């Protein structure tokens, strides 16, 4: 397929996931619609990923495969590269250890045709496990649109969801900032920033089957807190900018913010930069306790 005909960029960031990537590839080959291109950003893999993808590129497909290898920098830098290179109207991330149901692209196409003229910035669907169960909670049946932050604050819907965004809007908020030596800045930071452009259309259709890996970004959270404290501090500041958030939500974020500032060795500067220095001061004791828990659990 000519790239100009594709509606969706299926973006896959990968790092030493040669074995997992095969299942993702096979799922894309079985799609009932090929209105997409596959964009693989390799974050410096040292396994056989490059040779594997090169073989796929040499084969005949009904979709195009683009592959770019970069110096290892963490998932968020892969997103920066992917968004910069994307050329289609829509952008969805399918991780290297995940895959798409056979009709996922067709469902996204149909949903987008139905909702795009209503001003939505994209679509939010479900992730499911291989046994068919939902990752976290499904969306309420009577809710068909929401800001992404409302999933976290208003509806308290647990679990990862699959986000499909307008590529032009992603380009407006990218690239994500980086902190020296920190590789665990969650790309959701950019997705929440997109709320300023509008709401997402919400559906309980499944766009992705997930298989979390033991060394994936969703695991070893204490290690991530310790290795990327500046990144997590920025994320907590963003959470505290959400409108209409409860006091309990604010306090939880301030506790994590104080903890991250301690781990980043910028405690007093962090207090000064806090969205609410008074609440951060109130959370110093539990924030110190959380920092201690993180240090204890990562001492090895």
- For the chain (300 residues), the mean pLDDT of every run of 10, in chain order, is 79 94 96 97 95 94 96 95 98 96 98 96 97 96 97 96 98 95 95 98 97 63 95 97 96 98 96 96 98 93
- The pLDDT value given to residue 146: 98
* Per-residue pLDDT, 214: 61
Decide the pairing of beta strands 122-129 and 200-210.
Answer: parallel
Spatial separation of the C-alpha atoms in residues 296 and 223, rounded to whole Å: 10
Q: How far is CA 288 from CA 230, 257, 258, 260, 272, in A?
A: 16, 10, 7, 9, 17
| pLDDT of the residue at 5 | 82
3-state secondary structure (DSSP) of residue 150: helix
Give the Cα separation of 51 and 58 in Å (integer).
11
pLDDT at 211 (0 to 100) = 84
- How far is 14 from 83, CA to CA, in rounded Å? 15
Predicted pLDDT of residue 199: 98
């Amino acid at each position: 397929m000519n790239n100009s005909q594709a509606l969706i960029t299926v973006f896959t960031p990968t790092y030493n996931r040669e074995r997992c990537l095969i299942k993702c590839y096979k799922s894309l080959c079985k799609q009932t619609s090929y209105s997409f291109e596959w964009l693989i950003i390799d974050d410096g893999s040292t396994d056989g990923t490059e040779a594997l993808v090169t073989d796929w590129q040499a084969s005949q497909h009904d979709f195009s495969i683009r592959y770019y290898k970069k110096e290892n920098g963490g998932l968020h830098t892969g997103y920066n590269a992917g968004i910069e290179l994307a050329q289609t109207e829509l952008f969805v991330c399918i991780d290297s250890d995940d895959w798409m149901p056979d009709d996922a692209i067709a469902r996204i196409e149909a949903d987008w045709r139905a909702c795009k003229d209503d001003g939505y910035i994209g679509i939010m669907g479900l992730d499911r496990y291989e046994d068919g169960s939902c990752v976290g909670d499904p969306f309420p049946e009577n809710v068909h649109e929401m800001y992404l932050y409302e999933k976290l604050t208003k509806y308290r819907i647990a679990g990862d969801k699959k986000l499909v965004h307008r590529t032009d809007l992603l380009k407006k908020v990218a690239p994500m900032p980086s902190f020296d030596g920190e590789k665990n800045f969650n790309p959701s930071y950019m997705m929440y920033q997109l709320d300023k452009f509008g709401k997402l259309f919400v559906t309980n259709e499944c766009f992705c089957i997930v298989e979390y890996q033991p060394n994936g970004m969703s695991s070893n959270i204490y290690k991530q807190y310790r290795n990327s404290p500046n990144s997590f501090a920025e994320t907590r500041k963003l959470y505290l900018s959400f409108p209409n958030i409860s006091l309990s939500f604010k306090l939880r974020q301030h506790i994590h913010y104080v903890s991250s500032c301690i781990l980043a060795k910028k405690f007093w500067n962090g207090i000064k930069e806090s969205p609410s220095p008074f609440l951060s001061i109130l959370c110093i004791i539990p924030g110190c306790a959380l920092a201690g828990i993180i240090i204890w659990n990562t001492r090895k």
